[in-house]
Amino acid sequence: MNISFRQLRLFLALADTGSVSAAAARMHVTQPTASMQLKEMAEAVGLPLYEVISRKVYLTDAGEQLARTARGISDQWEAFEQGIAAAKGLTRGRLRVAVVSTAKYFIPRLLGSFCDQHPDIDISLEVLNRDHVVHRLRANSDDLYVMSMPPEDLALEDHILMPNPLVLIAPISHPCIDHKDLTLQDVAQSRFILRERGSGTRMATELWFKQMGFAPPKWLELGSNEAIKESVASKLGIALLSRHALGPQADPRIAELNVTGLPIPSQWHVVWPKGKQLSPIATVFYRHLLDQGQHQFYQKA
């Protein structure tokens, strides 16, 4: 079976982008050239590697196996290049990180301080909902992943980054806004605004409701923290959100409710598949995350 390393990289680009034209652009070749190379790979394997349905590429079983193999080869080669660069005293290379959407409130700061120390490193940051981050984690598409609720069915290297407290926010005009030691029953008649199913915040909220024996009689589901904060500020209801999502400057239209049992204790995790060999750059960034993440959180607290 004769497949070149450049062809493997082209196939990885196809798997990542889901488009022959996008894969061609990433590899700086024309679309006809990319199509010809992909055809040659399928002929070498002896099985179809992908199919196109409604202009979208779907990998076959053989294609999925080839993508996993190609990613492993690419990761090992990149680690080799980074190791050689480190031996020469250089700090060049690429870092790939995927994080859930709520992590966007602090990850850029941690990346910024890392880039200050390592300006020649190229960084790819994917900010996605939890389901898409888990999908990339299963496919081993990135070096590191940051989320609050790692999947339990995967064997992972799992390290706590910092606390992720979930707080209950309400419009400043809410009748209970200045009350102390509230219970859930005190706010039970308010509409609860929840993140979409599958998000880490929603999973933690539902687990806490179950532990408290509580089910909100009225609720609204929204797909982003920004939409939830704006809805709370517009007096549509109250919401449980990560304190990180409130940002460094408080919105004067909303405030935290002082409810017994809150904030919900949660953690941010840095994970990667068990057995994966981190590249030298990923290892340095992982250590940077743990050091700066804890420092920033407790400094703010």
DSSP notation for the chain: ----HHHHHHHHHHHHHS-HHHHHHHHT--HHHHHHHHHHHHHHHTS--EEEETTEEEE-HHHHHHHHHHHHHHHHHHHHHHHHHHHTT---EEEEEEEEGGGGGTHHHHHHHHHHH-TTEEEEEEEE-HHHHHHHHHTT-SSEEEESS--TTS-EEEEEEEE--EEEEEETT-TTTT-SSB-GGGGTTSPEEEEPTTSHHHHHHHHHHHHHT---SSEEEES-HHHHHHHHHTTS-EEEEEGGGG-SS--TTEEE--BTT-SBP-EEEEEEETT----HHHHHHHHHHHHHHHHHHHHH-
Under 8 Å between Cβ of 114 and 288: yes
CB 159 within 8 A of CB 206: no
What are the tokens at 182? 């509230």
Share of the chain above pLDDT 70, in %: 95
Strand partners, 222: 195
pLDDT digits (tens, 9 = 90+) for 135-170: 999 999 999 999 999 999 999 999 999 999 999 999
Q: Are residues 158 and 275 in the same domain?
A: yes
By residue count, the chain amounts to 301
Give residue 292's pLDDT.
Answer: 85
Which pLDDT band, with edges at 50, 70 and 90, does 204 fall under? Answer: very high
Same-domain status, 1 and 62: yes
Separation of alpha carbons 23 and 206, rounded Å: 40
The answer to the question of residue 124 being in a domain is yes
In this structure, what token pair is assigned to residue 143? 């070096």
Specify if 227 maps to a domain: yes
Pairing type for strands 219-222 and 166-171 reads unpaired
pLDDT of 44-62, one tens digit each?
999 999 998 888 899 999 9
Note whether 257 and 202 are same-domain residues: yes
Of 33, 48, 37, which Cα lies nearest the Cα of 5? Answer: 37
pLDDT band at 281 (very low <50, low <70, confident <90, very high): confident
Residue 20 sits in a domain of what CATH number? 1.10.10.10
How many structural domains is the chain composed of?
3
As a whole number, the mean pLDDT across the chain is 90
Does residue 211 fall inside a structural domain?
A: yes
> Quick check: 1 pLDDT over 90?
no
Smallest Cα–Cα separation from 139: which of 72, 74, 212, 52?
72
| pLDDT confidence of residue 295 | 62
Res. 301 pLDDT band, cuts 50 70 90: very low
Residue-level pLDDT at 277: 86
Question: Where does the pLDDT of residue 88 fall: very low under 50, low under 70, confident under 90, or very high at 90 and above?
Answer: low
Q: Are residues 259 and 178 in the same domain?
A: yes
User: How high is the pLDDT of residue 2?
Assistant: 85
Asked whether the predicted pLDDT for residue 299 surpasses 50, the reply is no
b/e map 116-134, b = 16+ CB within 10 Å: eebeebebeeebebbeebb
Task: Indicate whether 79 belongs to any domain.
Answer: no
Residues 256, 187 share a domain? yes
Domain with residue 215: its CATH number is: 3.40.190.10
Two structure tokens written together for 99: 């994080």
* Shared-domain flag, residues 249 and 188: yes
Report whether pLDDT(282) > 60: yes
Residues 253 and 192 in one domain: yes
**What percentage of the chain carries pLDDT values higher than 90?**
71
Q: Place 89 in a pLDDT band, splitting at 50, 70 and 90.
A: low
Whether 40 and 182 share a structural domain: no
Residues 30 and 57 in one domain: yes
Q: What is the pLDDT of residue 24?
A: 94
Answer yes or no: is pLDDT of 131 > 70. Answer: yes
Work out the average pLDDT over 210-229. Answer: 92
Question: What is the reported pLDDT for 77?
Answer: 87
Expressed as residue numbers, the domain containing 101 is: 91-163+267-301
Q: Is residue 156 part of a domain?
A: yes
Q: Are residues 18 and 136 both part of a single domain?
A: no
For tokens 């060049």, name the residue: 92
Query: Per-residue confidence at 91, pLDDT binned at 50, 70, 90?
Result: low
CA atoms of 250 and 59, how far apart (whole Å): 46
**190: in domain:** yes
Q: Does residue 48 sit within a domain? A: yes
Residues 169 and 261 in one domain: yes
Mean predicted confidence (pLDDT) in 226-254: 92
One domain, residues 244 and 295: no
Does 254 fall in a domain?
Answer: yes
For residues 115-141, average pLDDT: 92
Last residue of a domain, one of 38, 70, 102: 70
